Amino acid sequence: MANKRMRKLIQNSQRRSTREDSSNRGVDHENESQDTTSHSPLELQNEEVNEQDENEIMPSSQAQKRKRGKTIMRDIHALHPDHMLVVKFNERGQPYGDLQPTLANYIGTIARNGVVLPLSFLDWRKMPTNCLNDAWKLVTARFCISNCHRRVIMQMMGAAWRRWRTEVKATSYDSNTPLEELVAIQPIPHGLTLQTWEILCNYWKSTEKTSKINRENANKKKGTHAQGHTNIPSLEYKFSQENGRKPSRIEIQQLSRRSRKKGGAPIDDEAIRIENLLKETVDRHLQDKPEGTQPIEVHEETFREVFGPEHSGRVRCLGAGALPSQVFPELCKRSSMYWQDYHSNSDMTDKFKEMGEKIKDMELREAQRQMEIEQMKRQMKENDQFQNFARVMLSMMSGSAGGSHGPESLPTQMAAMLTNIMQ
């Protein structure tokens, strides 16, 4: 039963990707999986947001078709805890395969939930730890994912949360309209509270100049990914299965910027220009190499020459989550020893457990050593007191004890010494 349901989820995921790439994208509703119903708080919140989005997107004319709302992922929310989905991760910790789009869509439903991840926190980096932990628990309740992949999952969730906030601003906020009039014209969008909506509007009002600069920079962006829900690690995996080797970054750039509707042709003139420039640079590098050198051997050198140095903490054409220390370990000496065994998650877990046990043993040994030191101090103190007592007894025997008062003062001195010993 579990395998049958997982196959159905994979088919639904593939069907969604096919609809996105077809000409009548987003119109076919009959193939959606709606045979189960969930009553979890997260899904109920997403259903309210979905219904509100559908009500807000009203056709301007009868000829315009009504668009579908946000993805709810009822089939995933209705999964039994024993039927968790297993997502594949590559050596860089990025998800890929047939269930990758399903995971991405499910993360989107969590990011759009104002109860789990509130929009009142204006920066994802300031999101409280308890909210992030709750979101992570929702993901691991439906997908079998190790803790070592939390960084990538949280990065995907943060990107989806920022897209959601941008969409709220684009559909419901008007910088030219005061907040009082804006609330009077239309209700507060997407189920937000009045306090959260006021915080967002005031924040957007104070950052209009920065937002304008960000829009201008976004318009300068080149190299749009054109494969829909299929991410770059999935393209890498498919290429390696067909060709028996991993693709170079030039090949990934070409795969991700080709249109299926155009028969695999580049999506725009910019993609054509980049491909021609890369081909010319590859041919020029091959002229300086010995005869018989394959083009794939100069692809990395060509890519760096055409696109320039990498941005800090990122690697081009490998998707979100790829770090320079993973891709170029020889250039990152500090982290090369860490990332060389990244793919073996079980080994890393065993190493962490072993380190934790060693730390506990060291703490126990330190505690025992402190106890021994205290015991030695007490013994030394008792020895000093016994030595004083012995000296008093010797003085008494020699007749010199008691000072000027003579032997009659000995009982008092002995009583005092015995009291100190008992203490």
In the structure, how many helices (H) and strands (E) does the chain have? 17, 6
Tell me, yes or no, whether 159 and 83 share the same domain: yes
| 251 vs 301: CA distance, rounded Å | 13
Looking at residue 347, its pLDDT comes to: 57
Q: Are 116 and 42 in contact (CB under 8 A)?
A: yes
Q: Are 76 and 142 in contact (CB under 8 A)?
A: yes
Q: Nearest Cα to 192, choosing from 310, 339, 49, 326?
A: 49
Residues in the chain where the model's pLDDT stays below 70? 1-69, 186, 222-223, 330-353, 385-386, 389-390, 392-423
> Which of 279, 308, 337 is the last residue before a domain boundary?
308
Looking at residue 103, its pLDDT comes to: 92
Tell me, yes or no, whether 123 and 257 share the same domain: no
Tell me, yes or no, whether 123 and 9 share the same domain: yes
Tell me, yes or no, whether 133 and 239 share the same domain: no
The pTM of this model reads 0.63
- Has residue 125 been placed in a domain? yes
CA 195, 197, 198, 203 torsion: positive or negative?
Answer: positive
Tell me, yes or no, whether 150 and 73 share the same domain: yes
Looking at residue 404, its pLDDT comes to: 46
Tell me, yes or no, whether 99 and 7 share the same domain: yes
Helix (H) or strand (E) run with residue 417 in it? helix 410-422
CA 405 to each of CA 63, 324, 401, 402: distance values in angstroms, whole numbers, following the listed order: 124, 89, 9, 6
Looking at residue 89, its pLDDT comes to: 92
- Has residue 110 been placed in a domain? yes
Bridge partners of residue 143, in order along the sequence = 85
- Has residue 113 been placed in a domain? yes
Phi-psi region of 144 (alpha: psi -120 to 50; beta: other; left: phi over 0): beta
Tell me, yes or no, whether 97 and 238 share the same domain: no
Looking at residue 9, its pLDDT comes to: 62
CA 107 to each of CA 139, 220, 246, 399: distance values in angstroms, whole numbers, following the listed order: 7, 28, 28, 94
Bridge partners of residue 89, in order along the sequence = 95
- Has residue 57 been placed in a domain? no
Tell me, yes or no, whether 152 and 269 share the same domain: no
How far, rounded to the nearest angstrom, does the alpha carbon of residue 300 sit from its chain's CA centroid?
28
Domain count across the chain: 2
- Has residue 302 been placed in a domain? yes
| 86 vs 201: CA distance, rounded Å | 40
Judge residue 271's burial from the number of C-beta atoms within 10 Å of its C-beta, 0-12 exposed, 13-18 middle, 19 or more buried.
buried
368-386 pLDDT, tens digit per residue, is 888 888 888 777 777 776 6
- Has residue 381 been placed in a domain? no
- Has residue 364 been placed in a domain? no
- Has residue 12 been placed in a domain? yes
> Residue 154: CA atoms inside 13 Å, Cβ hemisphere, count?
18
Tell me, yes or no, whether 162 and 270 share the same domain: no
222-275 pLDDT, tens digit per residue, is 667 777 778 888 888 999 999 999 899 888 888 888 877 777 778 888 888 888
Helix segments in 22-149, DSSP class H: 41-56, 74-77, 100-111, 129-140
Tell me, yes or no, whether 246 and 149 share the same domain: no
Boundaries of domain holding 132: 2-19+40-47+68-172
Tell me, yes or no, whether 6 and 127 share the same domain: yes
Looking at residue 62, its pLDDT comes to: 44
DSSP 249-298: HHHHHHHHTEETTTTSEESSHHHHHHHHHHHHHHHHHHHTSPTT--GGGG
**Residue 172 neighbours by CB distance under 10 Å:** 18
